[in-house]
Amino acid sequence: MLFSSITFLYAFLPILLALYFIVPKGWRNGVLLAASLLFYAWGEPVYLILMIASITVGYVFGLLIDRYRERPRLANLLTAASVCVCLSSLILFKYSDFFLSTVNALAGTKFALLRLALPVGISFYTFQILSYTVDVRRGDAPVQKNPFTFATYVALFPQLIAGPIVRYVTVAEELNHRSTTREDVAYGMARFVVGLGKKVMLANVLGEVCKIYRETDESSVLFTWLYLISYALHIYFDFSGYSDMAIGLGRIFGFHFLENFNYPYISRSITEFWRRWHMSLGTWFRDYVYIPLGGNRVSRLRWVFNLSVVWMLTGFWHGAGWTFILWGVWFGIWLIIEKLWLGKWLAKIPAPLSWIWSTLLVLLGFVLFDAESLTVAVSRMGNLFGVGLPLVTDTALYYLRSYGVVLIVGIIGATPLPKLVWSRLREKKWGLNVSAFLEPAALAVLLVLISAYLIDGSYNPFIYFRF
């Protein structure tokens, strides 16, 4: 089930909210757990068994690690076992065919591919379970002895399919003791509708441009750049819109999830970009891979190795393909270069130049991210710089005119400008709070437009379903 669906908006969510606030507080985790399991089972009930099995494994290992805390060797062994068992399902469903096809290509073997469907959200809930057992071993998180409460943490539907990756320590207290004020509900609903608008009115429309480009035989330099900029905005609004919806829904239910995006496209360096993009994933790899490897408190050569491992894994986490791995390596290389040589130079040159430089590197990285193969990626890179293509065609101009307004809105929306304007409107002038009148009206109009778009059955994918 998608957040951006009529079924979710006008059936699942209203019924859940009514039940959640009617039942006694002691029953609310049960309502959330039941709703989350139904939400997950809606599209693929078979894989609900896999998620419940993963939850059980995480819960049992948490208890065992806590029980044998005073026996470090055994506790460490149990922690390692929990990591291996949790990762095994992720490797089986997400990476088995990649490994088999790679072996077939290198060794000339003919192992049959498993062709297993990828369970939705498996990358996210696996990382949440891993962080829980590791944090229990470190003493950073309390062990959860109630299996249903732990299941609620892992299966919590607002962040189940797209994050942000919520660490147990962040919500441990709220799982047991939380309350929701009117301000929380108002904020959560507004945040949800804005995120839904980003997803439906911007990401979906810009995704149409990308779909058209991939399917057409005609291309030009202008059309390729139009596609690439549209794709960068499409994936940003798609993913950040879902994060906004998750944070908003979480607030309605009394949870305070951490932010996941902070205007990454205003960054002046690749380092800054990754401090602003998918922040929950970045901090996860920092705390559970980079720092355990030694972080930057090692020799320069070992530091380069540590950073390379982290970014190769970051790419691999996003997808089982060489294009994803090279996408991670691409950013890893530029981060290393910035740390060693370019960082001071980028800080000294005019801000527009450092922004152009960084944005170009990000866009080129997204060519790899979206390509079906390395051959396609190389071809599109060549198209960007006019290798064998005309600069402009009538087709490119047609789609530029057709989607130009949405593109401009998307570019502006990816900056802090709309938030700055809205904060100014919130300031009381002449004894009148303008936002008190504008905000409900604007949100109502936006929800009507979104509903009309969804009823129309327009293009409505979610890109992170394949991750």
| pLDDT tens string 343-379 | 888 888 999 999 999 999 999 999 999 999 999 999 9
User: Two tokens at 81?
Assistant: 């076992």
Length of the chain: 467
Sequential pLDDT tens for the chain (467 residues)? 788 889 999 999 999 999 999 999 999 999 999 999 999 998 778 899 999 999 999 999 999 999 999 999 999 999 999 999 999 999 999 999 999 999 999 998 989 999 998 888 899 999 999 999 999 999 999 999 999 999 999 999 998 877 789 999 999 999 989 988 999 999 999 999 999 999 999 999 999 999 999 998 888 999 999 999 999 999 999 999 999 999 999 999 999 999 999 999 999 999 999 999 999 999 999 999 999 999 999 999 999 999 999 999 999 999 889 999 999 999 999 999 999 988 888 888 999 999 999 999 999 999 999 999 999 999 999 999 988 889 999 999 999 999 999 999 999 999 999 988 888 777 765 555 666 677 888 889 999 999 988 887 666 665 555 55
User: Of 434, 464, 442, 399, whose CA–CA distance to 199 is shortest?
Assistant: 464
Mean pLDDT rounded to a whole number for the chain: 91
CB atoms < 10 A from the CB of 351, how many? 11
Predicted pLDDT at 310: 96
User: Does residue 177 have an active-site annotation?
Assistant: no
Q: What angle do CA 120, 122, 125 make, to 5 degrees?
A: 120
Predicted pLDDT at 460: 61
> H/E element holding 271?
helix 270-276
Half-sphere exposure of 111 (CA within 13 A, CB side): 15
> Could you say which DSSP state residue 161 is in?
T
Predicted pLDDT at 424: 78
Q: Which residues pair with 432 in a beta bridge?
A: 429
User: Of 250, 254, 248, 249, whose CA–CA distance to 180 is shortest?
Assistant: 254
Predicted pLDDT at 429: 58
d(CA 199, CA 335): 30
Hey, is 410 helix, strand or coil? helix
Predicted pLDDT at 421: 85
d(CA 218, CA 221): 11
Pick left, alpha or beta for residue 422 (phi over 0 → left; psi -120 to 50 → alpha; otherwise beta). Answer: alpha
Residue 254 exposed, middle or buried by CB count within 10 Å (0-12, 13-18, 19+): buried
> Catalytic residue among 177, 234, 256, 318, which?
318
> Could you say which DSSP state residue 429 is in?
B
> H/E element holding 266?
none
